[in-house]
Amino acid sequence: MDSRNVLLSGVVGSTAYGLAGPGSDVDRLGVFAVRTEQLHGLGRPPESLVTTAPDRTLHEAAKWCRLALTSNPTASELVWLPGELYEVRTPLGEELIGIRGCFASAAAVRGAYLGYAAQQFRKLCHKREAGTAPSARLAKHARHLVRLLEQGVTLHRTGELRVRLQDPDRVRELGERLAERPDRAESLLAAAEEQFARPGVLPQEPDPAPAEAWLRRVRRAHWTAAEESE
């Protein structure tokens, strides 16, 4: 991929949350744009590019917007990273950060963050009962469960996705305890559900208009670039 097509990219995952340990992978996430002329043929260009050395996922601009409009936790964190974690930050990437508030909605945030946390809970319980995973893997599921609940509730209350956890050590310690007794997580899930049931600041529906306008600017910019390169 031509690096000029990457609009925004940064370090995400455990490094961004403040949970990285000595053996943690460094995960990267980004948004890229295809040449606009590629969208006019019979074939469709890839919507995501994934590599493992380094660990990097790039979503094409339209796909990233669709994910963000459903409040997908992994995709959404890209536009809420601490500034020092961005590695590529183009003018169009800056614009995307500038409209980040249009993507989240109350129902989607509740469904996504509670849903992903419940998924981690099921994995934690299953692997604990089956004895198929080392304690470190169980603790990782538990940490992600706690993180998703904290981030989701804060986003619901404030409209801000706080990627960097306020107290990573507390989350690590709680993760270790939940890995030993997964049933203790049930009260965390119930408390989060109660918080989501209370009024928050998010709208009932996302506002796709700014995302649509941004995507059209991306298409215009990359159509011009294609013509100039010929």
pLDDT for res 2: 60
Range of the structural domain that residue 79 is part of: 3-103+207-229
Question: Does residue 81 fall inside a structural domain?
Answer: yes
- Model confidence band, residue 1 (pLDDT cutoffs 50, 70, 90): low
Burial grade of 130 (CB within 10 A; 0-12, 13-18, 19 or more): exposed
- Pick 196 or 136 by higher pLDDT: 196
Instruction: Quote the pTM value.
Output: 0.92
Q: Are residues 128 and 58 in the same domain?
A: no
- Tens of pLDDT along 113-131? 999 999 999 999 988 888 7
Token digits of residue 46? 């890839």
Strands 86-89, 55-60: pairing kind = unpaired
Residues in the chain: 230
What's the CA gap between 148 and 173, in Å, rounded?
16
**Distance between CA atoms of residues 59 and 57, nearest Å:** 7
CA–CA distance, 97 with 89 (Å, rounded to integer): 10
Q: What is the pLDDT of residues 26-44, one digit of tens each?
A: 999 999 999 999 898 888 8
Q: Does position 228 have pLDDT exceeding 60, yes or no?
A: no
Same domain, 8 and 81: yes
**Shared-domain flag, residues 71 and 14:** yes
- State the Cα–Cα distance between residues 163 and 150, nearest whole angstrom: 10
| Cis ω for the linkage preceding 182 (within 30 of 0) | no
Q: What is the rounded distance in angstroms from the CA atom of residue 207 to the CA atom of residue 202?
A: 11
pLDDT in the model for residue 42: 84
71 and 134 together in one domain:
no
